[in-house]
């Protein structure tokens, strides 16, 4: 039996109509606190996080894109700069090196929410994130996009170079 292309098209439309669902409503961004809670963090003890939550939340899961600074794609310094511009109306240096060479130096034990944390190797800074409290920072990871990571993560703790305060 020879099938006519029109009959196949009708069959495909019927199958799609029968088995398709109505469009799902947009879920919106996942609040950073919810993501942190799902990872086992005690979000109620993250001092000052609520002030940052609405600015940081929409960035979670944003894909990594070298040179990017939007929620369609961002690199680490683009993410940090865009968040600071949105929340504090403050322009930060665009590169991690310039960011590290400016701002007020902060001891790791004195970090507060909003401080920038810097990472690198052999005195060359090549990554930045925003400290969000309780030993965690949010950053644009090349492998995971914008995510939350503990400062004492096996990878990042060996690369930690210091912190700067811009607030």
90: Cα separation from own chain's centroid: 19
| Residues assigned a catalytic role | 76, 127, 139
Task: Among 3.90.1720.10, 2.30.40.10, 2.70.50.30, 3.30.420.40, name the CATH number for the domain at 26-165.
Answer: 3.90.1720.10
Q: Which residues contact 118 (CB under 8 A, 6 or more apart)?
A: 96, 99, 100, 125, 127, 128, 160, 161, 162, 163, 164
pLDDT, residue 52, reads: 81
Instruction: Please give the radius of gyration of the chain, using alpha carbons only, rounded to the nearest integer.
Output: 21
Partners of residue 121 on adjacent β-strands = 124
At 60-80, the pLDDT tens digits run 999 999 999 999 999 999 999
Q: Are the CB atoms for 78 and 68 separated by under 8 Å?
A: yes
How does residue 34 score in pLDDT terms, banded at 50, 70 and 90? low
Q: Which residue has the higher pLDDT, 18 or 83?
A: 83
CA distance 9 to 1: 17
How does residue 41 score in pLDDT terms, banded at 50, 70 and 90? low
Positive or negative, the Cα torsion across 28, 30, 31, 32?
A: negative
Which three-class secondary structure string do you get for 121-146? Answer: ECCEEEEEEEEEECCEEEEEECCCEE
Instruction: Report how far apart, in Å, the C-alpha atoms of 132 and of each of 18, 61, 65, 98 are.
Output: 47, 16, 22, 21
In this model, does residue 134 exceed pLDDT 70?
A: yes
Closest to 139 in 3D by CA, of 52, 79, 54: 79
Closest to 160 in 3D by CA, of 111, 109, 108, 115: 108
Domain boundaries, given as residue ranges, for the chain: 26-165
How does residue 9 score in pLDDT terms, banded at 50, 70 and 90? very low
Instruction: Round the average pLDDT of the chain to a whole number and report it.
Output: 79
Partners of residue 136 on adjacent β-strands = 133, 150
CA angle centred on 157, ends 155 and 159, rounded to 5°: 80
At 78-121, the pLDDT tens digits run 999 999 999 999 999 999 999 999 999 999 999 999 999 999 99
């Amino acid at each position: 039996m020879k099938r006519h292309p029109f009959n196949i098209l009708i069959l495909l439309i019927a199958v799609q109509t029968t088995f398709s669902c109505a469009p799902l409503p947009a879920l919106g961004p996942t609040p950073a606190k919810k993501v942190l809670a799902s990872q086992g963090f005690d979000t109620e003890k993250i001092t000052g996080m609520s002030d940052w939550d609405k600015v940081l939340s929409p960035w979670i899961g944003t894909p990594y894109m070298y040179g990017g600074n939007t929620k369609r794609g961002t690199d680490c310094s683009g993410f940090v700069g865009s968040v600071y511009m949105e929340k504090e109306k403050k322009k930060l240096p665009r590169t991690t090196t310039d960011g590290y060479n400016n701002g007020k130096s902060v001891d790791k034990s004195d970090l507060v929410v909003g401080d920038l944390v810097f990472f690198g190797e052999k005195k060359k800074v090549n990554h930045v994130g925003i400290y969000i409290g309780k030993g965690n920072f949010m950053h644009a990871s090349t492998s995971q996009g914008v995510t939350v990571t503990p400062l004492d993560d096996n990878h990042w703790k060996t690369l930690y170079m210091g912190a700067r305060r811009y607030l």
